[in-house]
Structure 1
Amino acid sequence: MTQLKDFIRELEALAPPIYQENYDNSGLIVGDPGMEVQGVLFALDSTEAVVDEAIQRGCNVVVAHHPIVFKGLKRLTGRTYIERTVIKAIKHDVAIYAIHTNLDNVANGVNWMIARRLGLQNLRVLAPKRQQLMKLTFFVPVDDTEKVLDAVFAAGAGQIGDYSRCSFRLTGTGAFRPGEGANPTIGERGEDEEVQENRVEVMLPIYLEKPVIQALRKAHPYEEVSFYINTLENENQEIGSGAVGDLPEPITTAEFLVMLKKNMHTPVIKHTAPVHDTVRRIAVCGGAGSFLLPNALAAGADAFVTADFKYHEFFDADNKILICDIGHYESEVYTKEVLCHYLSEKFGNFALCLSEVNTNPVRYFT
């Protein structure tokens, strides 16, 4: 039996909740974490129609990119579409889980999906975030160093880009005197002791602080483990907003716009005047991405693919970059395929379905 909490654990391994923006409301919105999962419906939005679809298809979990509840609900009377959706989900025991800006901010999330649909290579985060990394420093007897390092590495520390088991160590002398209530591994109560120890430093993402410290304490031979941990100002190159990469070969601006329209299945592209005859480096951001225009320019992008640009914001291209607004829904609708593919590799004992409901509130008259 797979419980909803098991399912959530895998989703949060893909996109840890700590990476969501402070205005967001990702996570379990409706439902009991202990409920048995019978089927999962993936959607961009968790609207009433999507909950109806889940019921009809025998799914008791909806995983949506956009949270149906952004702000606190003061009443549930069915007055708004939000209230009606929540009421219907509760009535029919359908759980709703949102995985929003935390999925935006991780590699292999929303922006990687767009980049891959466009065939971009050499992908990297467009605007890496600071204060998402920590440094753990601990002291351990020389002979126990490898055993303790194995434990903290297994908990997720020591990963820097494509390099694993990264650490720094320096050998010195540790000095201490066990008190009368101590139970020392080395030394005697009331006696000064000196031990050859390694000072070890490893980096870890902030969301792994608790399991890494637990692993350190469990593997360390000492009764009292000496360590300290600091938040780093370094940019985490794997966490942040947007993505940027290169087309395999330069193509004309006209060819790029045709390809973009086709690959993202958008009926219309709002764009600025072409700047260059050809484009190759492309920046992308699912959803509203105008705040990343300076980053796209700094990255040397020829074009910036995103959504929700306002009229006056198009002027900010300043004849330096091609801005392509493909629509909010169009830029993120394939997120449900990313999630379904990821979870299908983890679970095979219940149905995983892609929503067929078009939740786009925008219509185009052509």
Structure 2
Amino acid sequence: MPALSEVISALDGLWPRERAEQWDAVGTVCGDPGTEVTSVLFAVDPVQEIAGQAVELGAQLLVTHHPLYLRGTTTVAADTFKGRVVHTLIKHDIALYVAHTNADRAAPGVSDALAGALGLRVVGPLVPDPDDSQERRGLGRICELDRPVPLEEFVRLAAERLPATVQGVRAAGDPARPVRTVAVCGGSGDGLFDQVRAAGVDAYVTADLRHHPASEAREQSPLALVDAAHFATEWPWCEQAAAQLDAISDRHGWGLRTHVSRMVTDPWTAHAASSPDSARPALSAANSTTSGAPN
């Protein structure tokens, strides 16, 4: 079995730390480089429930997309929620490794996994990395469907194929508008509207769309917007990343066991739908700690 340092070196090869944004906090958060690794858990969020799942699985390494410490801190005390995560992991000899914006820009990266989940064919990056002569790396992806479908059908497809969350999938645009070309960006993507418009696509799939940027984007072009939960657009990367590590493990004969958390860690837990016919909107709730497959 490999040492943690060997596995970390392999992960750094997949998602080089120097390709992360300057403000980002990626790489190893905790862990003894000499620890033997037999089991790895992949998840979106480094929250306490995920740390507990790593303990239950007997994993020696937890790999998450979102950083635990994105901003500076002066304490890892266990009476803070982030400190409690660190204490739990260290107590059970579990390392934590983060691949965030370096995984966003990778090829394959977060948006490739999102495109794959939606059955889209990737044509190229939405914002290519200037130092990539092959034009494969970069933020977001420009994609195509095999055939044009109405926007309302495409939204239903997205809701079926992405993990179920309280938010679900919402859209802006004519429901009957044909969609053939699609830009995707896993996570928060309303900062890329200029590039999306320049790409001339029919629709844009991302997360965390805010009122003003979305409204302005709709006013400036017939672009259809498809807004899913942040968690839902990034979870497919966990399966892709686990498969990448599996391939490395097979090449080296490591025999690693990789696991993908199916715990829904989206922070929203209830949704009240507006009802024009009743003063009492329908209320639905989702369990954010469901261990079943996101669907």
Q: Which of 220, 242, 259 is equivalent to 1:340?
A: 242
Q: Which of 257, 261, 277 is equivalent to 1:351?
A: 257
For 1:92 and 1:7, the matched residues in 2 are separated by 18
Per-residue CA shift, 1:333-364, capped at 9, x if unaligned? Answer: 12110111111111152321112332221123
In the alignment, does 2:70 pair up with 1:70?
A: yes
For 2:256 and 2:164, the matched residues in 1 are separated by 32
Q: CA deviation at 1:275?
A: 7.7
Please give the secondary structure, in 1, of the residue aligned with 2:149. strand
For 1:19 and 1:275, the matched residues in 2 are separated by 38
Please give the secondary structure, in 1, of the residue aligned with 2:65. strand
Residues 266, 280 of structure 1: alpha-carbon distance in 2 compared, 3 angstrom cutoff: farther
Letter in 1 for 2:238: K
Question: How many positions carry a matched residue from both structures?
Answer: 264
Please give the secondary structure, in 1, of the residue aligned with 2:159. helix
Residue in structure 1 matched with residue 151 of structure 2 by the alignment: 253
Residues 97, 244 of structure 1: alpha-carbon distance in 2 compared, 3 angstrom cutoff: same
For 1:329 and 1:12, the matched residues in 2 are separated by 23
For 2:121 and 2:77, the matched residues in 1 are separated by 50
Residue in structure 1 matched with residue 2 of structure 2 by the alignment: 2
Letter in 1 for 2:268: V
Residue in structure 2 matched with residue 25 of structure 1 by the alignment: 25
Q: Is the 8 A contact 2:229 2:266 kept in 1?
A: no
Letter in 2 for 1:57: L
% of aligned pairs identical?
A: 31
Letter in 1 for 2:163: H
Q: CA deviation at 1:104?
A: 0.3
For 2:111 and 2:260, the matched residues in 1 are separated by 19
For 2:50 and 2:119, the matched residues in 1 are separated by 31
Q: Is the 8 A contact 1:261 1:269 kept in 2?
A: yes
Q: Which of 258, 262, 265 is equivalent to 2:163?
A: 265
Please give the secondary structure, in 1, of the residue aligned with 2:12. helix
Q: Is the 8 A contact 2:107 2:136 kept in 1?
A: yes
Residue in structure 1 matched with residue 95 of structure 2 by the alignment: 95
For 1:96 and 1:277, the matched residues in 2 are separated by 44
In the alignment, does 2:235 pair up with 1:329?
A: no
Q: CA deviation at 1:257?
A: 1.1
* Superposed counterparts of 1:203-352, under 5 Å: 237-267=135-165, 268-274=168-174, 277-317=177-217, 318=219, 319-347=221-249, 348-352=254-258
Per-residue CA shift, 1:237-295, capped at 9, x if unaligned? Answer: 22211001111111111111111111113452222122862011000001000011111
Q: Which of 253, 263, 266 is equivalent to 1:360?
A: 266
Q: Is the 8 A contact 1:126 1:283 kept in 2?
A: yes
Does 1 or 2 have the higher relative contact order (CA < 8 Å, sep 6+)?
A: 1
Letter in 2 for 1:292: L
Residues 277, 358 of structure 1: alpha-carbon distance in 2 compared, 3 angstrom cutoff: closer
Q: Is the 8 A contact 2:155 2:171 kept in 1?
A: no
Q: Which stretches of structure 1, 4 residues or more, deviate above 3 A after TM superposition?
A: none
Letter in 2 for 1:355: S
Residues 119, 57 of structure 1: alpha-carbon distance in 2 compared, 3 angstrom cutoff: same
User: With structure 2 as the length reference, what TM-score do the two structures score?
Assistant: 0.85
Residue in structure 1 matched with residue 123 of structure 2 by the alignment: 123
For 2:190 and 2:95, the matched residues in 1 are separated by 33
Q: CA deviation at 1:76?
A: 2.3
Residues 295, 275 of structure 1: alpha-carbon distance in 2 compared, 3 angstrom cutoff: farther
Residues 276, 254 of structure 1: alpha-carbon distance in 2 compared, 3 angstrom cutoff: closer
Note the aligned Cα RMSD (angstroms). 1.6
Letter in 2 for 1:289: G
Q: CA deviation at 1:122?
A: 4.4
For 1:255 and 1:359, the matched residues in 2 are separated by 27
| Structure with more of its chain in strand, by fraction | 1
Structure 2 unmatched runs, 5+ = 272-283, 285-295
Q: Is the 8 A contact 2:124 2:136 kept in 1?
A: yes
For 2:122 and 2:3, the matched residues in 1 are separated by 38
Q: CA deviation at 1:68?
A: 1.0
For 1:20 and 1:276, the matched residues in 2 are separated by 39
For 2:102 and 2:242, the matched residues in 1 are separated by 17
For 2:207 and 2:66, the matched residues in 1 are separated by 15
Please give the secondary structure, in 1, of the residue aligned with 2:62. strand
Structure with bigger gyration radius: 1
For 2:191 and 2:51, the matched residues in 1 are separated by 33
Q: Is the 8 A contact 1:28 1:98 kept in 2?
A: yes
Q: Is the 8 A contact 2:172 2:224 kept in 1?
A: yes
